[in-house]
Structure 1
């Protein structure tokens, strides 16, 4: 509660500095390995060396994406488990994520080695840089499994409450790489192989430091049993980490397509295939630095934004949005001016091989990074939307610029040649920021409307006292009148019934807005539902609600309708779990009767609502909603509401005579 109050009361500028700066620093460190290699390879080997490392880049990003899939997924699962005080399976989440990262790394290595140079040619290698790409890549591959585990552990260590340790582990590896590159390349004359060896040495040391943390972790203890595969745990981890993986996957797709196009159109120009490829690699490194700063600002703000949005503090949410965009704009304006005024400095920093290369690289740097301010603002807006649980909008928006970039990269070079590939970026940026602007204006208007709403305090914000006895949970298909049946059962047994009342109590106890908690298992778009449920702000609401359900159950006998209470209270000894179902036609008719829906509307609403409930249940439990093995009683409400009530009451009385 102190942390929550702090997020809701401290000045937003102070909070943003405290949360965003470490995040920015960590992201910058994470991309240093490749950038440092580029600088020393460019100066020690030449632009062909940079082109070669650019060929290997998509493979390393795939590995990075896999490590984030399991690392960020496990970290999110850990955070939720902490909030729910359900820590018994945390060690399994850690072990399973480490195991899967390692095995995926082995698969990536096996595929890369088996396909050999054919794979390198497929993703953009040319005759001139193939041998260099081979030398660099085949060394990098060896460390891939351990590097993936290290990156996965870094996410877990941060979630375990030790972000500085994770940052230091990465920093030590980066420093070793920085020192090792010039020694291996220039002193030992190892060329591009030296850069690769320096990289894997730094990664290995970071791996050892992260593994050492497992001996002194704060909230879990690793044992051999932790690495036993658990399908439910893995499914939850993958669900929570999918967003991070998709982000990295989009980078891979863009890089491979651009590599192929640069080779194709470059070969038909005076520059040849390798100069455009090498220039693109250098420009992307500069782009990556600026983008990581912007992402660090937005990602660091996520817990602050999520809490305040969930708490209904829409004025603070607006302040945070303005501050995030302001910081991003300032960073991007400074970087744009520097890039446009001093492009030659940055190109030469990565090595300068001839006037033709330098001329082309300077021109394309100015083109590609000219509207990076639009790129970064668009990306931080997408992250902001994710922070407030708007996954249905956030996910498409996060890949909008990337999709547009691919489209323009395919079209513009037809008319503009190889430089057209670089012009695709500002074209994509203009359209992406225009669409994003429309979305954000609408969001701002909705926040203004929310601020003006007068939310009356409900008188249902206290838990009713009750005698000790049975706890009845009722899960139900949409259209079965399950809520009404639950209320009648409670009246018959003379015990309290909780449904919407839980959201009011949760709002009072947690500081979150009642409307927000009420809608956490709403009918989200099917494609986006899992990502929506995995967002931090939604998980925060789930934790608040689950705590209230447990509080209600601890006060005495009652009926709790919905909210996956059967799973939340699964360890209660005096629990009776009931599932109410009915034939679809009966439910459609009931919905038409209750809500005035047309037949097709009723059918659609039933299907959508049941899918949303199933997804919510699966998200918090890893189990199948409606599985009869999870309930003491399953009953068909089409036999009649009164009869259902009598059957349930009799069943409860026979098995728990203490309340009859």
Structure 2
């Protein structure tokens, strides 16, 4: 027996339901039954139960930007869409911070529940709320400091015409960031508590509130960008209130939010941030890409009849559709997280493998469907956002069709990279995430406008920007496939070692 085999932890028996003192709970506890079934129930049934609310919830979360853009596009025109495009990287950064803290804490909680360590799971929940409060204070300081917010607008390539609108939008979102951080980040813990439908309900409440307030503030009161920003924040507030009600007032939940669990634990906080780093990198990478694209759009758009402001409006539509199309794929990945984490923590290797492959199949099916929708309805999508100029409509439809050429395979990449996060391998997950968002795409955004027009004279530098995404996706998917193949070998060896023990 090798030294590694000797030090391998014993595979636990069926994880025991524990209360906050580490004592066994009665098997009739509804909250514990919901958690423990993740290690015993049918995997396809669990994935369906967890994935449907998660996918719908992520679509709802992605709908905030869509709703803002549609209302502003019709009420204010292209200048409203341009302002949203400038503010979009900031909105993505906010989501990145929320997922850094929330997804990291949720991944840790799922692993600890699988190990039967209920108290540690509750401390993870409490520390997520504490970290969210700190992050919100930092965001508020940055957003309302004139020098810092001016620097952010410069990074986002705001033109003089768009700048004042984008500034108002960003500052209001900064003031309400704590509501998003808790409403989105802590929401994931509800799924880990075995209540995916309740998690969906908290997001539906927020979306309904956002639509209602947008209609009132933008269409009725005519407040424009100001009204849209206020509507977004109030939508977050509705979700936040529903999430806090679940963890603070209900008594039949496996984890409760208590002040005693909110005391900072530096070792745990480091683990939370490490586990959440892959999710952060997904969103932060998207934000960096948005900054780069905005810069390149202003540069190459000014050289075409479309112009810089209309190019920003067009990319705003493409970005919204791009973010919306991957939301259900991220939803599948998030739904798998508690299932993968619980079974990996409980050393149920066979269930880990099956969960991954079922999840990849589900995500790939959604990818193909989303691809068909955006390819067929590219022109109506452009019209739906209030774009009316024929030349701009054609350019927007072209950009949509080109950018999503590899979408049928993106589901595999997103689910697979998230698998490494859920199973406590954040470094691999971070690397795979960066391949798609940073390592391949950012260089291509600079290279393609230089190379492609020389090779094909019918394309301008502005056209070439949209070919960078499918090329980067292809390279990232290929790299991820190599990592997954090696992981399957590692899991087989791990299962054999557990069988020996």
TM-score (norm 2): 0.81
Structure 2 equivalent of residue 176 of structure 1: 209
| CA displacement at 1:143 relative to structure 2 | 0.9
Deviates more, 1:251-260 or 1:63-72: 63-72
1:7–1:342 distance in 2 versus 1, CA, 3 Å: same
Query: 1:142-181: per-residue Cα shift (whole Å, max 9, x none)?
Result: 2113332333332334334444333222211110111221
Question: In structure 1, which of residues 412, 421, 425 is the aligned counterpart of residue 448 of structure 2?
Answer: 412
- Assess if the C-alpha contact under 8 Å between 1:160 and 1:219 holds in 2: yes
Structure 1 runs not aligned, ≥5 long: 454-511, 519-544, 546-660
Structure 2 runs not aligned, ≥5 long: 1-13, 15-32, 454-460
Question: In structure 2, which of residues 289, 294, 299 is the aligned counterpart of residue 264 of structure 1?
Answer: 299
Q: Larger relative CO (CA 8 A, sep 6+): 1 or 2? A: 2
Tell me how far apart the structure 2 counterparts of residues 201 and 311 of structure 1 sit (CA, whole Å): 42
Tell me how far apart the structure 2 counterparts of residues 360 and 33 of structure 1 sit (CA, whole Å): 25
Question: In structure 1, which of residues 47, 51, 60 is the aligned counterpart of residue 82 of structure 2?
Answer: 51
| CA displacement at 1:390 relative to structure 2 | 5.8
Q: Counterparts of 1:95-244 in structure 2 under 5 Å?
A: 95-114=126-145, 115-213=148-246, 214-216=248-250, 218-219=253-254, 222=257, 224-244=259-279
Query: Which structure has more helix as a fraction of its residues?
Result: 2
Structure 1 equivalent of residue 22 of structure 2: none
Structure 2 equivalent of residue 427 of structure 1: 471
Query: 1:639-658: per-residue Cα shift (whole Å, max 9, x none)?
Result: xxxxxxxxxxxxxxxxxxxx
Structure 2 equivalent of residue 565 of structure 1: none
Question: In structure 2, which of residues 311, 314, 324 is the aligned counterpart of residue 276 of structure 1?
Answer: 311
Query: 1:512-547: per-residue Cα shift (whole Å, max 9, x none)?
Result: 9362599xxxxxxxxxxxxxxxxxxxxxxxxxx9xx
Tell me how far apart the structure 1 counterparts of residues 324 and 103 of structure 2 sit (CA, whole Å): 21
SS at match of 1:131: helix
1:112–1:222 distance in 2 versus 1, CA, 3 Å: same
TM-score (norm 1): 0.62
| CA displacement at 1:89 relative to structure 2 | 5.9
- Assess if the C-alpha contact under 8 Å between 1:117 and 1:130 holds in 2: no
SS at match of 1:269: coil
Structure 2 equivalent of residue 19 of structure 1: 50
Structure 2 equivalent of residue 311 of structure 1: 348
Tell me how far apart the structure 2 counterparts of residues 245 and 72 of structure 1 sit (CA, whole Å): 9
SS at match of 2:144: helix
Query: 1:259-281: per-residue Cα shift (whole Å, max 9, x none)?
Result: 11111221222211122222222
Q: Counterparts of 1:400-549 in structure 2 under 5 Å?
A: 400-402=435-437, 403-415=439-451, 416=453, 417-440=461-484, 446=489, 450=492, 513=495, 515=497
Tell me how far apart the structure 1 counterparts of residues 109 and 141 of structure 2 sit (CA, whole Å): 31
Tell me how far apart the structure 1 counterparts of residues 36 and 242 of structure 2 sit (CA, whole Å): 34
Deviates more, 1:415-424 or 1:147-156: 147-156
Query: 1:249-295: per-residue Cα shift (whole Å, max 9, x none)?
Result: 21221111111111122122221112222222211222222212223
- Assess if the C-alpha contact under 8 Å between 1:63 and 1:105 holds in 2: no
Q: Counterparts of 1:363-382 in structure 2 under 5 Å?
A: 363-382=398-417
| CA displacement at 1:109 relative to structure 2 | 2.0
SS at match of 2:386: coil
Aligned residues: 455
- Assess if the C-alpha contact under 8 Å between 1:102 and 1:146 holds in 2: no
| CA displacement at 1:432 relative to structure 2 | 2.4
- Assess if the C-alpha contact under 8 Å between 1:310 and 1:388 holds in 2: no
Tell me how far apart the structure 2 counterparts of residues 400 and 180 of structure 1 sit (CA, whole Å): 39
SS at match of 1:124: coil
Tell me how far apart the structure 1 counterparts of residues 262 and 355 of structure 2 sit (CA, whole Å): 41
Query: 1:40-74: per-residue Cα shift (whole Å, max 9, x none)?
Result: 11121122212211211222222222222222233
Structure 1 equivalent of residue 18 of structure 2: none
Query: 1:443-468: per-residue Cα shift (whole Å, max 9, x none)?
Result: 56x38x94xx9xxxxxxxxxxxxxxx
| CA displacement at 1:13 relative to structure 2 | 3.3
Structure 1 equivalent of residue 373 of structure 2: 338
Deviates more, 1:380-389 or 1:288-297: 380-389
1:320–1:95 distance in 2 versus 1, CA, 3 Å: closer
SS at match of 1:370: coil
SS at match of 2:158: coil
- Assess if the C-alpha contact under 8 Å between 2:218 and 2:227 holds in 1: yes
Tell me how far apart the structure 2 counterparts of residues 346 and 100 of structure 1 sit (CA, whole Å): 39
Structure 2 equivalent of residue 502 of structure 1: none
**What's the Cα RMSD here?**
3.2
Query: 1:616-649: per-residue Cα shift (whole Å, max 9, x none)?
Result: xxxxxxxxxxxxxxxxxxxxxxxxxxxxxxxxxx
Tell me how far apart the structure 1 counterparts of residues 332 and 121 of structure 2 sit (CA, whole Å): 29
Tell me how far apart the structure 2 counterparts of residues 337 and 112 of structure 1 sit (CA, whole Å): 39
Tell me how far apart the structure 2 counterparts of residues 407 and 368 of structure 1 sit (CA, whole Å): 16
| CA displacement at 1:353 relative to structure 2 | 3.6
| CA displacement at 1:18 relative to structure 2 | 2.1
Q: Flag the structure with larger Rg.
A: 1
SS at match of 1:128: coil
Tell me how far apart the structure 2 counterparts of residues 387 and 90 of structure 1 sit (CA, whole Å): 15
1:224–1:333 distance in 2 versus 1, CA, 3 Å: closer
Query: 1:355-398: per-residue Cα shift (whole Å, max 9, x none)?
Result: 23212111111111122123333222323455566655443223
| CA displacement at 1:7 relative to structure 2 | 5.7
Tell me how far apart the structure 2 counterparts of residues 87 and 204 of structure 1 sit (CA, whole Å): 29
SS at match of 1:96: helix
| CA displacement at 1:303 relative to structure 2 | 4.8
- Assess if the C-alpha contact under 8 Å between 1:71 and 1:155 holds in 2: yes
Deviates more, 1:135-144 or 1:78-87: 78-87
- Assess if the C-alpha contact under 8 Å between 1:47 and 1:353 holds in 2: no
Tell me how far apart the structure 1 counterparts of residues 123 and 486 of structure 2 sit (CA, whole Å): 43
1:96–1:340 distance in 2 versus 1, CA, 3 Å: closer
| CA displacement at 1:29 relative to structure 2 | 1.8
- Assess if the C-alpha contact under 8 Å between 1:375 and 1:401 holds in 2: no
1:76–1:305 distance in 2 versus 1, CA, 3 Å: closer
